[in-house]
Amino acid sequence: MSFASARSRDRGFRVLVVVGLILFVVWSAAPILWLIVSSLMQQQALIVQPPDFSLGNFTLENFTEVIVSAAALGRGILNSFIVALFSTAVALVIGAPAAYALARLAVPRANALAFLVLATQMLPGIAIAIPLFLVISRLGLIDNVLALGLVYLSFNLPIVIWILRGFFLAIPEGIEKAAAVDGAGVVGTFLHIVLPISIPPLGAAAVFAFVEAWNEFFFALILTRQDAQTVPLVIAQFAGQYQTLFGQMMAAAAISIAPVIALAIIFRNQIVRGFADGMMKG
């Protein structure tokens, strides 16, 4: 094969990669773009077929109506923030030591235990919905924000353990042996050596857990009534029996995703580094 033909094939491959990436970005961004556009359109222009995208049909009225009249949205955002922050913080506090134990300590059948931790995520939610509802109901914790946070913790904790274990396995053992020579015990090594170099995977796990809790709908629907409703439930209420306020629903959804997008932008470097380290070294 000549140099020219090889160079031409490499150029063609790069073009295919670029085209694939563009298609992926468009496919991923299209729902967000449609959400933003439809949140700025009048109801009548939005429901006609096809939608009328005339400039006169764009308005901020949907956002005004949602912010002024939908007090439930503010309560839902607050509840979602409390639940997501609580479940994420506790998952990190418990999950980091658990992941380190499974990665470094002499835990019998550590690999099997790690797989069992991940296997808990393979159960469909509907399989545990009724038993979970009965337990929460008998404890008198239906429509309780912290109870919902504990339920989300049971889902977030296995993911946090799995992400962090992959990173801890990749830490050179020489670092920990050097700390042991200096007199550091297991706890001291974990707190003062391992955690400081684990900021990227900790950040990635935290963002992932927060977003999962923020967006969860199914168990919030089952375990809440009014006071503890999260933002996905509040958005769903814009769909009424006789009319669906699409514009206001989209405006409420746009407001609700703003904190998640801001979180992803602020911690984007930690997210990319954390997941990359976990995948390459786990």
Secondary structure of residue 103 in the 3-state scheme: helix
pLDDT of residue 280: 47
Interval 13-38 mean pLDDT: 86
Give domain 70-281's CATH number out of 1.10.150.20, 3.40.1350.10, 3.40.50.720, 1.10.3720.10. Answer: 1.10.3720.10
Q: Which of the two residues, 273 and 151, has the higher pLDDT score?
A: 151
Closest CA to 207 of 154, 272, 150, 146: 272
- List pLDDT tens digits, range 41-88: 888 888 888 888 888 888 888 888 887 766 778 888 899 999 999 999
Q: Flag whether pLDDT at 282 surpasses 50.
A: no
Q: Which of 43-52, 54-63, 142-151, 264-273 has the lowest mean pLDDT?
A: 264-273
Position 32 scores a pLDDT of: 85
pLDDT at 120 over 80: no
- Quick check: 123 pLDDT over 70? yes
> Which of 121, 111, 134 shows the shortest CA–CA distance to 212?
121
Query: Is pLDDT at 155 greater than 80 in this prediction?
Result: yes
Q: pLDDT averaged over the chain?
A: 83
pLDDT tens for each residue of 178-205: 877 777 788 888 888 888 888 888 888 8
Task: Give the mean pLDDT of 247-273.
Answer: 80
What pLDDT, on a 0 to 100 scale, did the predictor assign at position 240? Answer: 64
Is pLDDT above 90 for 2? Answer: no
Query: Is-above-0.85 flag for pTM?
Result: no
Give percent above pLDDT 90 in the chain: 15
Q: Cis before residue 131, ω within 30 degrees of 0?
A: no
Report the pLDDT value the prediction gives residue 7, as an integer from 0 to 100. 67
Domain boundaries, the chain: 3-57, 70-281
Q: What is the pLDDT of residue 177?
A: 79
Residue 235 pLDDT exceeds 90:
no
| Residue scoring higher pLDDT (206 or 278) | 206
Contact criterion met (CB below 8 Å) for 281 and 167: yes
Please classify residue 45 by burial: count the beta carbons closer than 10 Å to its beta carbon, then call 0-12 exposed, 13-18 middle and 19+ buried.
middle
State the Cα–Cα distance between residues 138 and 133, nearest whole angstrom: 9
pLDDT of 1 strictly over 60:
no
Residue written as token pair 């924000």: 145
pLDDT in tens, 80-115: 999 999 999 999 999 999 999 888 887 888 788 888
What does the alpha-carbon distance between residue 26 and residue 29 come to, in Å, rounded to a whole number?
5
